[in-house]
Structure 1
Amino acid sequence: MRTPPCEVSWMPPGFMSASRRRIPWPARAARKPLSMPVASLSAAARPSTSALPRSPTSSFTAPALSSVPNAPSQRRIGANDVPLALESMLALTARELIRFARQPSRIIASVGTAALFWLFFASGLARSIVLPSAGAAARAPSFAAFLLPGAITVIVVFGTIFASISLIQDRHEGFLQSALVSPAPTLSIVLSKILGGVLITSGEAIVLMLGAPIVGLAPGPQGFFLALLAIVLTAAAVIGLGLALAWRINSVAGFHGVMNLLLLPMWLLSGSFFPVEGAAGWLAAVVRVNPLYWSNRLIAGALGSRETPGLLAWAIVGSAALGSFALAMMVMSDRRLRGGSGTGGGSA
């Protein structure tokens, strides 16, 4: 019977390459394992374990990723990391666009839902809601024209949901963990999600804006640019909010519930479904602190669906409000990711 080989715990460098043989089994008892005492190591070569956390059930426990300095989840962008951050952001953004191109159902779901909402509500509630006019001689806009900015806002809401769900899917598939341990800064991961969602949402909103002449709206180049600016800022802000929540939620079903609880009231209270002038005092105050209200008012004034005196002032104030909200959501998402919540998530 052939004797099984035994493993050698230590051998000189190049020993196996020179001899190409293994020690037979009976030689294990006669062989004494070679070991180097720890005391012979110098203080510089000896690993220091005093700063590492200890576990009561084991002699050594690896430190958590979020507690290690310069760990991937704690990485910040330095002066030398800008080219790498831009390259990583563009590569991840291209991945989001390719994923969107391979899922045509997302286009149908986003644009189709907004178009059906616009058609059915404009046809069913046209004679039930009286819109205020700017003056006695001015003609009130049609309810279909009044609802167009709200339909565009629906596209932004659906774009937020899809962009945030893609983050949860990346976590389940292991792609997010791979991106976190890569040299790419965490901010580039957040920006790629926001930029990809903004590009997709803006393209879908432009498709719906092409229907403005159907309801008698004829925005010029300036109005089209202001409307597109409001859409971009709104998408960046709301997608950042969705990502900040998606870092903590580990279930697609749970995320849908949270988004319905948060984004649906924000959309209903954005002034896109009913005129704010006829609402109760407390409700009008709640509407005016809603970021989507500024977006809806800016889009409506840019497209000409509502009389907006001082459109330039509205554009400045609305853009500043939406830009500040988008920046705050982006910073919150980056801190959530660097805090280690991007790889785990809750059980919601």
Structure 2
Amino acid sequence: MLRHTMLFLGYELGNLRRNPAWPLLGIMQPVLYLLLFAPLLTKLTPGGTLSEALVVFTPAALVMIALFGSMFTGFGMINETRNGVLERLAVSQAWRPSIVLGRVAKDMIMLVLQSLLVLGVASLMGLRISLSAMGLMLLLMAVTGLFAANLSYGLALSIRDENGMSQIVQFFLLPLMLLSGLMLPISLGPDWMQAVAKFNPLYYAVEAGRALFAGDFSSGTIPTAFALFLVLGVLTLTWSVRSLRKLAG
């Protein structure tokens, strides 16, 4: 099982090395938000400093990578389905879940590396956090990517059409972003919005990240976010593997 997963991981990383432009372009949006949007939040922080604004916004920028990076990974799988590549892999001697797990492992590795780059930019801008907070945040990004990538692959294997999948992703992406407090803390919104946000799993990832960056390791949002995305990751992984089995007939 592990051998097959590592083989598919190596194959996916090889494809990534041959075309590294997309991962680099994927981090441009969060970096631009850090450079151009985070300074606007200084008026909302108690001290009015950029470093305080970065504590609020950098976790949101990292969750943004998980959203815009991992949620669009399934489009490549649709093309492989259309060309018959995925069907041949699904009926091969390989352990079938490894076909998905290898891709998800690649996505999680890329998400962590992209997060490190964003943290580096934020550090140059004045962000100061502990190593323990950084490590936990990177781990949180990995489990968030586990959920987002598996959800994308499950949608790709179920819909098998780029236009249909694009419409579904775009339809849900904006309300998920706004109700997670990505741009501004959800505490600034009306009561009804704060109540609805509690049903958005990304809200807990953003709030947990802000608690970690603020040094509040006792916040209940931290274990909630980890538990929630681990459960969602397992559920979406099961769904994507079952969809792959249906594809194989």
Does the 8 A contact of 1:145 with 1:212 survive in 2? no
Per the TM alignment, residue 107 of structure 1 is displaced from its structure 2 partner at its CA by 2.3
Task: Render the CA deviation track for 1:294-341: whole Å, top value 9, x for unaligned.
Answer: 11122222233xx74624x44322211111111111111122222x1x
Do structure 1's residue 105 and structure 2's residue 21 form an aligned pair?
yes
Letter in 2 for 1:97: L
What is the identity, as a one-letter code, of the residue corresponding to 1:111? I
User: Aligned-pair distance for 1:139?
Assistant: 7.0
Residue 325 of structure 1: aligned partner: 232
Q: Which residue of 2 aligns with 1:310?
A: 218
- What secondary structure sits across from 1:126 in the alignment? helix
TM-score, normalised via structure 2 length: 0.89
Q: Which amino acid aligns with 2:218?
A: G
- Name the counterpart of 1:81: none
Please tell me whether the aligned partners of residues 226 and 315 of structure 1 are also in contact (alpha carbons under 8 angstroms): no
Q: What is the deviation of 1:194?
A: 1.4
* 2:158 maps to 1:248: yes
* Residue aligned with 2:37, SS: helix
2:3 pairs with 55, 80, 87, which one? 87
Q: Which has the higher helix share?
A: 2
Matched, 1:163 2:77: no
Q: Hey, what does 1:47 align to over in structure 2?
A: none
Q: Which residue matches 1:35? A: none
Contact 2:54–2:127, Cα closer than 8 Å, also in 1: no
CA contact (8 A) 2:31 2:118 kept: yes
Q: Alpha-carbon deviation of 1:212?
A: 2.9
SS at match of 1:204: helix
Shift of 1:180: 0.8
Q: Which residue does 1:130 correspond to in 2? A: 44
Cα distance between partner residues in 2 of 1:98 and 1:308: 40
Mapping for residues 237-276 of structure 1, pairs under 5 Å: 237-276=147-186
- How many equivalent residue pairs? 248
List runs of 5+ in structure 1 lacking aligned partners: 1-84
Counterpart contact for 1:92–1:189, Cα < 8 Å:
yes
Q: State the alpha-carbon separation in 1 of the partners of residues 129 and 101 from structure 2.
A: 31
Q: Distance in 2 between matches of 1:257 and 1:170?
A: 20
- Paired residues of 1:114 and 1:152 also in contact (CA < 8 A): yes
State whether residues 133 and 212 of structure 2, in contact with CA within 8 Å, keep that contact through their aligned partners in structure 1. Answer: yes
- Tell me, which stretches of 5 or more residues in structure 2 are unaligned? none
TM-aligned CA deviation for residue 159 of structure 1? 2.0
CA distance in 1, matches of 2:163, 2:234: 27
The residue number in structure 1 matching 2:119 is 209
Change (3 A) 1:111 1:147: same
Alpha-carbon RMSD: 2.3
Q: Is the 8 A contact 2:64 2:182 kept in 1?
A: no
Distance 2:54 2:139 in 1: 22
Pair 1:291 & 2:207 matched: no
Asked if 1:224 is matched to 2:141, the reply is: no
- 1:234 counterpart (123, 144, 166): 144
CA contact (8 A) 2:23 2:110 kept: no
Structure with max Cα Rg: 1
Q: Check conservation: 1:276, 1:284, Cα contact below 8 A.
A: yes
* Correspondent of 2:109 among 199, 203, 223: 199
Q: Deviation digits for residues 41-98 of structure 1, max 9, x if unmatched?
A: xxxxxxxxxxxxxxxxxxxxxxxxxxxxxxxxxxxxxxxxxxxx22221111111111
Inter-partner Cα distance in structure 2 for 1:328 and 1:314: 21
Alignment partners' CA distance in 2, 1:176 and 1:162:
18
In structure 2, how many angstroms separate the alpha carbons of the residues matched to 1:109 and 1:330? 26
Q: Residue 322 of structure 1 aligns to a residue in which SS?
A: helix
For 2:107, the aligned partner's letter is G
Aligned 8 A contact 1:145 1:215 in 2: no
CA distance in 1 between partners of 2:72 and 2:18 (Å):
14
Partner AA of 2:211 in structure 1: G
Identity, in percent, stands at 24
